[in-house]
Structure 1
Amino acid sequence: MRRGICKMARMGTVLFIAALMLTSCAKKPQDISREENEDNLVYSAQYYPVFDYVTNVISAFDYEKNEVIFNCRTDEDYKSNRSLMGVNLDDMQLGEIVDKTDVREYSSFVCWGDYYYAVKDDGVSGAEIVKLDADFKELASVGTNIELPRRYDAAYFDGIKADSEGRLYIMTCSLLQVYDSELNELCRIEVDGNFCGIVTCGDKAYTIEKDGINSILSEINITAQALERVNGSLPGNFVAFCGADGKIYMICAGTMYEYDIDSDSLCNMLSLIEYGIYGPSVRNMYVGNEGSFVFTVEGQYVGYDDFSMGVEILEKVPEVSVSEKKQIIIAAYASDAFYYSMYEYLIKFMRDNPEYTIRFDNYYDDYADSVPLDEFDKMLISGIDADILLIGGFETDKVKNLAQKGILYDINNFLSADEGFKDAIIPNIYEHLKLDGGVYAITPYFYMSTLTGRETVTGEREYWTVHGILEKLKDDESINLFADGDASAALIRLLEGGVCLDEEFIRNEGFTSEKFAELLELCKLCGERNMNTEKIVLNEKAVLEGRAMVVKDSNIFDDVRKYYALFGEDGFARVGYPDEAGGRSVIGWDEFFCISNSSQNKEDAWKLIKSFLSEDYYKNIHNSQAIMYPVVEKMCVEYLNNEIENQETKSIPIYSVDENLVTTTEMVVDVPVITKEQAQVIMDEINTASISGYDIDGTIKDIIREEAQYFFEGQKTAGEVGKIIQDRVQLYLDEQD
Structure 2
Amino acid sequence: MKRILALILVFCCLLVPSCGKKERKAETILLDHSWSKEEIAFPDSFRPGSLLSCSGDTVYTAGTEDGKIVLAATDVRSHETETISSDLSGTAVGLCAGENGFALLTPSADPLRGTETVTLSLLSLDGGILAQSDVSAYCPAEFTVITPWFDGESIGFYADGQIVTWDPGKNAFTVCPFDGTVYSVTVKDGVPCLYVMTKTGTTKLFTTQNGEPAEIPADLTSVYPDAVYRRKDALIAVDAAGAEEIGGGVLLDWSHSGIYYKGIRSMAFTDDGTCWTLLRNLTTGETELLCLSPSGEAAERIVVDALYAETGSRIVPVSAMLYNAAQDRVFVRCREVTSVSSENYDLSELNRLILSSREGDVLVFPEGYETYARRGLLYDLDSLMRTDSNVNRSSIYENALPPFEVNGTVYALTPVFRLEGIAMKEKNAGLSLGDLLRSHERRVLMTETKDAVSDLLLKHGVWDYLSPDLDSCAFDSPAFADCLGIIDSFPEENRSGRIPTSERPYENDRVLVAWAQIGSLTDYLEAKLLFGNEAVSFLGYPSSASGGEGGFVVSCRDTISVSSRTAVPEEAWEFVKFMLSGEALKAAGITNSGIPLLKSVSRDVVEGLMGEWSYDAESNWLDGRGMGGIPVSVDEACAEEYLALLEAARVDPAVPGQVDAILGEELSAFFAGARSAEETGRMIQNRIGNYLNERK
Deviation (angstroms), 1:196: 1.9
**Residues 1:204 and 2:147 aligned together:** no
C-alpha distance 573-45 of structure 1, shift in aligned 2 (>3 A)? closer
Correspondence 1:633 to 2:599 = yes
Q: What SS is found at the alignment partner of 2:70?
A: strand
Deviation at 1:199, TM superposition (A): 0.7
1:411 alignment counterpart = 381
Give the corresponding residue for 2:245.
none
Question: How much has 1:342 moved relative to structure 2?
Answer: 0.7
Which letter maps to 1:643?
Answer: L
Find the counterpart in structure 1 of residue 70 from structure 2: 129
- Superposed CA offset, 1:252-284 (max 9, x none): xxx999677856999996243565457534331
Alignment partners' CA distance in 2, 1:724 and 1:687: 37
1:670 matched to 2:629? The reply is: yes
Query: What's the offset of the Cα at 1:552?
Result: 1.7
Structure 2, unaligned runs of 5 or more:
1-27, 110-116, 226-238, 243-252, 255-259, 543-551
1:295-334: CA deviations, max 9, x gaps?
6386989x999999966799xxxxxx997653435566xx
Query: Which residue pairs with 2:448 in the alignment?
Result: 484
Range moving further from structure 2, 548-557 or 720-729: 720-729
For residues 340-369 of structure 1, the C-alpha deviation after alignment (integer angstroms, 9 at most, x for no partner) is: 431332344344335435566788797598
AA in 2 matched with 1:461: N
Secondary structure in 2 matching 1:345:
helix
Q: Give the structure 2 partner of residue 684 of structure 1.
A: 644
Higher mean displacement: 587-596 or 515-524:
515-524
Name 2:132's counterpart in structure 1.
187
1:167 aligned residue = 102
Equivalent position of 1:449 in the other structure: 420
CA contact (8 A) 1:511 1:725 kept: no
Match of 2:317 among 328, 343, 348: 343
- TM-score when scaled to structure 2? 0.62
Which residue number corresponds to residue 622 of structure 1? 589
User: What is the deviation of 1:168?
Assistant: 3.2
The residue correspondences of 1:33-182 to structure 2 (distance < 5 A) are 49-51=35-37, 71=40, 83-84=41-42, 102-108=43-49, 121-122=64-65, 125-129=66-70, 136-137=81-82, 144=85, 146=87, 148=89, 152=90, 160-162=95-97, 166-171=101-106, 174=109, 176-177=118-119, 178-181=121-124, 182=127
CA distance in 2, matches of 1:347, 1:281: 13
Q: Which moved more, 1:158-167 or 1:603-612?
A: 158-167
For the residue of structure 2 that corresponds to 1:197, the secondary structure is coil
2-side partners of 1:723 and 1:547: how far apart? Answer: 33
What CA distance in whole angstroms lies between the structure 2 residues aligned with 1:495 and 1:185? 78
| Matched residue SS, 1:448 | strand
Is the 1:466–1:515 Cα contact (8 Å) retained in structure 2?
no
Q: 2:330 is aligned with what amino acid?
A: Y
Q: For the residues of structure 1 that align with 2:584 and 2:523, how far apart are their CA atoms?
A: 26
Is the CA contact 1:328–1:605 (under 8 Å) kept in the aligned structure 2? yes
CA distance in 1, matches of 2:485, 2:180: 53
Cα 1:368–1:521 change in 2 (3 A) is same
Distance of aligned partners of 1:372 and 1:146 in 2 relative to their CA distance in 1, 3 Å threshold: closer
Instruction: Report the Cα offset of residue 636 of structure 1.
Output: 1.4
1:81-105 CA-partner distances (Å, limit 9, x unpaired)? xx24xxxxxxxxxxxxxxxxx3442
Work out whether residues 54 and 268 of structure 2, in 8 Å CA contact, stay in contact via their aligned partners in 1.
Answer: no
Corresponding position of 2:616: 650
TM-score (structure 1 length as normaliser): 0.59
CA deviation string 1:485-516 (max 9, x = no partner): 573x6677679989659997462446967699
Deviation at 1:413, TM superposition (A): 3.8
1:285-684 equivalence runs, <5 A? 285-286=267-268, 288-289=270-271, 294=275, 296=277, 325-330=301-306, 335-337=309-311, 340-358=314-332, 367=344, 371=348, 379=355, 387-390=361-364, 392=366, 398=371, 402=374, 409-419=379-389, 421-422=391-392, 425-426=395-396, 428=398, 439-452=410-423, 460-468=427-435, 476=442, 479-480=443-444, 482-484=446-448, 487=451, 505=468, 507-509=470-472, 529-530=492-493, 549-554=513-518, 556-562=520-526, 568-569=532-533, 571=534, 573-574=536-537, 576=539, 587-588=554-555, 591-596=558-563, 599-623=566-590, 626-645=592-611, 647-648=613-614, 650-651=616-617, 653=619, 669-676=628-635, 677-684=637-644
- Write out per-residue CA displacement over residues 377-409 of structure 1, whole angstroms, 9 at most, x where no aligned residue: 9x48xx7765445464x767558x63xx87655
CA distance 1:574–1:194, shift in 2 (3 Å): farther
Q: Is the 1:447–1:590 Cα contact (8 Å) retained in structure 2?
A: no
Equivalents in 1 of 2:88, 2:572: separation in Å?
A: 58
Q: In structure 1, how many angstroms separate the alpha carbons of the residues matched to 2:479 and 2:554?
A: 23
What SS does the aligned partner of 1:669 have?
Answer: coil
Q: In 1, Cα distance between the equivalents of 2:74 and 2:306?
A: 50
SS of the aligned residue for 1:198 comes to coil
Aligned residues of 1:561 and 1:671 also touching (Cα < 8 A): no
Cα gap change, 1:416 to 1:568, in 2 (>3 Å)? same
**1:484 Cα offset (Å):** 1.8
Q: CA RMSD in A?
A: 6.0
2: CA distance, partners of 1:596 / 1:348:
22
Distance 1:197 1:510, change over 3 A: farther
**In the TM superposition, what whole-angstrom CA distance separates every residue of 1:133-166 from its partner, at most 9, and x where no partner exists?**
9654457xxxx47362xxx45xx7x664435662
Task: Judging by fraction of residues, say which structure has more helix.
Answer: 1
Partners of 1:511 and 1:680 lie apart in 2 by: 39
Q: 1:329 to 1:430 in 2, by over 3 A?
A: same
Amino acid at match of 1:460: K
Percent identity reads 11
Q: Distance in 1 between matches of 2:643 and 2:146?
A: 52
Structure 1 residue ranges without an equivalent (≥5)? 1-41, 52-68, 72-82, 85-101, 209-214, 315-320, 580-584, 657-663
Q: CA deviation at 1:644?
A: 2.3
Verify the 8 A CA contact 1:500 1:506 in the aligned structure 2.
Answer: no
Pick closer, same or farther for the CA change 1:678–1:589 going to 2, 3 Å.
same
Distance 1:376 1:230, change over 3 A: closer
C-alpha distance in 2, partners of 1:259/1:523? 75
Residues 1:708 and 2:677 are matched in the alignment? no
Cα gap change, 1:129 to 1:245, in 2 (>3 Å): closer
Tell me the secondary structure at the aligned position of residue 196 of structure 1. coil
How many angstroms does 1:681 deviate by?
2.7
**Post-superposition offset of 1:480:** 3.7
| Structure of larger gyration radius | 2
Counterpart CA distance in 2 for 1:635 and 1:307 is 33
Whether the aligned pair in 1 keeps the contact of 2:614 and 2:629 (CA below 8 Å) is no
